[in-house]
Amino acid sequence: MTWVSWRLHRTQLLIAGLFTIAAVIAMATTGDPARSLGVHDVQALTWGVLFALPIVAGVSIGASATARERERFTNRLAWTQGVSRTRWLRSTLAPAAVAGSVAVLLVSAIATWWVTAAGNGPRISPNPFDVSGIVPVAYFLVSLGVGAAAGAFIRNEGLARAFAFVAIIAARIVVRTSVRPHLAPIVHLAPASPPLSDLGPIWPTVPGGSAVAHGWLLNQGWVPVGRTTPLPGHRWYSSPFLNIDFRGFRCPVVTGSETGYSVHSDCANPAHLHYVANYQPLNHYWLLQLGEAGIFLAGAIVAIGLAAVLLRRSGE
């Protein structure tokens, strides 16, 4: 069955291998931006390949394992040779899952180095986080499972792939924006001297701000004293000088060249406001990695189980 699985998926595996080699070469040539040629263009292409590789490889292999075999009726031969449908699915997916996971893990290890070497920001930030560590393997496995489940439900391979792509991308967006920030306790910083809004959040110049600069900044702005988040119905404000009513105190609109901490204090102190930054520090990287990988691995198990149930109930 392993040889049969290779014959069934060799095209997808070879294409994924070529993209993997291309990504590795691109990372190797842009690891030192000072010496690389066309570094920004190559980096942009590399980001695209790294983001897409686990999803494209997983969905393509998973959908072809079920939808294409049922579409061409080649599954009937195996099912009439005393091989159960569950065993057939396991034997078809397992070799591809192992080989794909090893390849994605190797690329992820190189990407972890590349993120730092190429100056792409803290690895806990959303973009570097998505291509480093162990989460790319989880992305690949859940894509494999969802592709197989979609193919078990939709006989047409193209439609099954499209459905699986949309489902995986939607799941990754939801987890990235709404779930990941809360997989580890959020840390709050309320600096005595906040960064100037007109110059941007220059965190390294703020006491305690280096942790924010090297972490994942979730939200920042002026909120009432005693709170780390805005009042219900309010949002994060980058400046207290917006003529906004906070608890009955209306800050004046400041124009001209008035800048500095004292100007901030002139409005923020009477309004009982303080500047707060909510962030995930760099030392939470592996907590977030393990949490998100666990979510997608659980999704992969559920999807493969669903594919097995759908195949058992299938009439052909």
DSSP one-letter code for 208 = T
CA angle, residues 69, 73, 75, in degrees to nearest 5? 55
What is the pLDDT at residue 34? 42
Contact, 118 vs 40, CB < 8 A? Answer: no
For CA atoms 172, 109, 43, 214, the dihedral sign is positive
Q: How far is CA 208 from CA 100, 215, 227, 304, in A?
A: 42, 12, 19, 46
Question: Residue 283 has which token pair?
Answer: 């030392």
Question: Residue 146 has which token pair?
Answer: 């969802």
Strands 273-280 and 187-189: antiparallel
| Mean pLDDT of successive 10-residue stretches along the chain, which has 316 residues | 52 62 61 47 69 90 79 57 73 86 87 74 87 94 95 86 94 96 94 60 76 90 84 72 51 46 60 85 96 97 93 70
Which pTM value belongs to this model?
0.80
What is the pLDDT at residue 114? 78
What is the pLDDT at residue 295? 97
Give the closest residue to 220 by CA, choosing from 163, 169, 275, 290. Answer: 275
d(CA 68, CA 196): 58
Give the closest residue to 315 by CA, choosing from 152, 145, 192, 149. Answer: 152
Look up residue 292 and give its amino acid: E
Q: How far is CA 312 from CA 2, 44, 62, 84, in A?
A: 21, 44, 17, 9
